Structure 1
Amino acid sequence: MAGYPFWAHWGGIGMVIVILAAIAIAIVAIVRTGRSNRVEHGAAEARGLDILAERFARGEVDAETYRSMKAELEAKS
């Protein structure tokens, strides 16, 4: 065993297992965080149309502007 006590080899193996487990946990955490931050395209489009409709209802945009902006938002889908 090249001068090392028997338990030193098991300690090294244990440390490798701990490091690999920590790396695996970090990867899982990164993947889960990345998925939760994504916004689906349809949801973003619907939200944009909702905001536009609210602005039209409040009188912030006129009918012509509303129609052109709505057409532009729908064309992006």
Structure 2
Amino acid sequence: MGYGMMGGFGGGLGGGVGWIGWIFQIVILVAVIYLVIYAVRSFSGNTKHRSSSSDEAQEILAQRFARGDISAEDYKSMKDQLKN
């Protein structure tokens, strides 16, 4: 049959195109890894968003206390609950 196991026509991971095939496969592998990491992060939730929501809730609580809508006891209790 000729030259080498595949007849000298490539056929390995490079697909017969040499370094270009290897580079293309590495790019594909990196893209797949990136997509998996992105998917895991998006499904697990964003912790930065949670802290900003907590900050916003504390601001609203402080405004309600400043307006006199809630007592000092209620303010302290609600503030402790937001921290946990």
Larger Rg: 2
Bin the TM-score by the shorter chain: 0.3 to 0.5
Give the alignment's TM-score, normalised by structure 2: 0.45
